[in-house]
């Protein structure tokens, strides 16, 4: 894509299409069809958009995994949410899907720098609203773990080991290796998928060489916020670049990009008091004794 076209693509939306935030809501916004119009106007035939429906436990639509491909710029995946109010409003499936997909389109566009000026600190009006709702007792929990790959499913089937109320391991998180060992998790693979160190006695590590913070649910500022974030923030050398701005590398426990080290998920399980059943070493097993 040439410079001129790219400039047109990510140009700030004109004030005339920016709608003020509805009362009690956060941030001005641009309706999703204006985003689509931008793509149609500037790069007709040079983009592709598709989505997969995400359903909740009760089979209702809770989101959509959206994919936007722009020729010469690449591919982004984002999960579009359904507004919490909509879930409570008893609207039709197709309306729910429309909400999720239109949110997803905006998120995908943002990743390419379109409408970026409307996002404050990486939080959308939808996210802000969702996190407000989260504190209300009857709010529907947003799908913070929406997309499950086969790998994640197999992981789930391994996890319901022995749950303890509060294991001694969960009290001390300063040495992740000890936390893992105390909960009987394997500490064989301590690396990122690319082979860089992901965890050691001192903490969790970003491929850029900086410490990674684990962000428990209770400390998240938004429902869809990452579970792990590189502490180098804007200086992180492996973070995504959006419109020339660099963001800290972030990871989610349920991760359809398969970037999150398995060992981190084990670490979080251990912190939450999950203890794996121990298998005795073959040498320790006496005749007639069960290996567990
Ligand atoms: Zn980093």
For ligand 1, the distance from its centroid to the CA atom of residue 78, given in whole angstroms, is: 21
For ligand 1, the distance from its centroid to the CA atom of residue 276, given in whole angstroms, is: 30
For ligand 1, the distance from its centroid to the CA atom of residue 206, given in whole angstroms, is: 5
Angle 3-10/32-42 helices, nearest 10 degrees? 170
For ligand 1, the distance from its centroid to the CA atom of residue 186, given in whole angstroms, is: 25
For ligand 1, the distance from its centroid to the CA atom of residue 209, given in whole angstroms, is: 6
> What backbone torsions phi and psi does residue 119 show, to the nearest 5 degrees?
-100, 125
For ligand 1, the distance from its centroid to the CA atom of residue 234, given in whole angstroms, is: 9
Token duo for residue 78: 């984002």
Number of Cβ within 10 Å of residue 26's Cβ equals: 17
The strand order across the sheet containing 61-70 reads 47-55, 61-70, 74-81
For ligand 1, the distance from its centroid to the CA atom of residue 205, given in whole angstroms, is: 8
Contacts of 40 (CB under 8 A, 6+ apart): none
Closest alpha carbon to 80 in 70, 68, 89, 92: 68
For ligand 1, the distance from its centroid to the CA atom of residue 8, given in whole angstroms, is: 31
User: What local confidence, expressed as pLDDT, does residue 41 receive?
Assistant: 94
For ligand 1, the distance from its centroid to the CA atom of residue 101, given in whole angstroms, is: 30
For ligand 1, the distance from its centroid to the CA atom of residue 232, given in whole angstroms, is: 6
Cβ–Cβ under 8 Å, residues 130 and 81 = yes
For ligand 1, the distance from its centroid to the CA atom of residue 245, given in whole angstroms, is: 14
User: What local confidence, expressed as pLDDT, does residue 27 receive?
Assistant: 64
CA distance 186 to 164: 18
User: What local confidence, expressed as pLDDT, does residue 279 receive?
Assistant: 57
User: What local confidence, expressed as pLDDT, does residue 99 receive?
Assistant: 87
Q: What is the full per-residue pLDDT of the chain (292 aa) written as tens digits?
A: 889 999 999 998 888 888 876 665 556 788 899 999 999 999 999 999 999 998 888 888 888 999 999 999 999 988 888 766 666 677 888 888 888 899 899 989 988 889 877 765 444 444 545 554 444 444 343 444 434 344 433 333 333 344 443 444 344 568 999 999 998 888 999 999 889 999 999 999 999 999 999 988 878 777 777 889 998 888 888 887 776 777 889 888 877 677 899 899 899 988 888 888 765 554 554 555 554 4
Around ion ligand 1, residues with a beta carbon closer than 5 Å are 206, 208, 210, 230, 232, 236, 249
For ligand 1, the distance from its centroid to the CA atom of residue 233, given in whole angstroms, is: 7
Kindly report the pTM of this predicted structure. 0.44
SS (H, E, C) the chain: CCHHHHHHHHCCCCHHHCECCCCCCCCCECCHHHHHHHHHHHCCCCEEEEEEEEECCCCCEEEEEEEEEECCCEEEEEEEECCHHHHHCCCCHHHHHHHHHHHHHHHHHHHCCCCHHHCECCECHHHHHHHHHHCCCCCCCCCCCCCCCHHHHHHHHHCCCEECCCCHHHHCCCCHHHHHHHCCCCCCCCECCCCCECEECCEEECCCCCEEEECCHHHCCCCCCCCEEECCHHHCCCCCEECCEECCCEECCCCCCCCCCHHHHHHHHHHCCEECCCCCCHHHCCCCCCCC
Structural domains in the chain plus CATH codes: 3-121 (3.30.390.80), 150-275 (no CATH)
For ligand 1, the distance from its centroid to the CA atom of residue 235, given in whole angstroms, is: 7
206-230 burial by CB neighbour count: b if 16+ within 10 A, else e? bbbebebbbbeeeeeebbbbbbbbb
């Amino acid at each position: 894509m040439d410079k001129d076209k790219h400039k047109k693509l990510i140009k700030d939306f004109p004030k005339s299409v920016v709608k003020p935030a509805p009362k009690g809501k956060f941030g001005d916004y641009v309706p999703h069809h204006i985003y689509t119009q931008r793509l149609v106007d500037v790069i007709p035939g040079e983009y592709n958009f598709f989505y997969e429906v995400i359903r909740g436990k009760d089979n209702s639509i809770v989101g959509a995994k959206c994919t936007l491909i722009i020729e010469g710029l690449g591919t982004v995946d984002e999960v579009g949410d359904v507004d919490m109010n909509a879930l409570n409003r008893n609207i039709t499936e197709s309306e729910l899907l429309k909400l999720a997909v239109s949110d997803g389109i905006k998120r995908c566009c943002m990743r390419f720098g379109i409408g970026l000026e409307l996002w404050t600190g990486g939080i959308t009006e939808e996210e802000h609203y969702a996190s407000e709702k989260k504190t209300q007792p009857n709010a529907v929990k947003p799908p913070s773990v929406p997309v499950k790959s086969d790998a994640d499913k197999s992981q789930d089937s391994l996890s319901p080991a022995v749950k303890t109320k509060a294991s001694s391991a969960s009290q001390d998180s300063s040495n992740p290796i000890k936390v893992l060992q105390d909960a009987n998790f394997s500490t064989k693979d301590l690396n990122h998928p690319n082979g860089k160190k992901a965890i050691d006695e001192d903490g969790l590590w970003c491929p850029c060489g900086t410490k990674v913070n684990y962000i428990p649910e209770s400390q998240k500022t938004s429902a869809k916020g990452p579970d792990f974030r590189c502490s180098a923030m804007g200086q992180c050398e492996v973070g995504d670049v959006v419109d020339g701005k660099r963001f800290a590398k972030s990871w989610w426990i349920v991760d359809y990009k398969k970037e999150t080290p398995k060992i981190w998920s084990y670490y979080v399980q251990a912190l939450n008091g999950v203890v794996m059943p121990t298998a005795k070493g073959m040498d320790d097993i006496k005749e007639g004794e069960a290996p567990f």
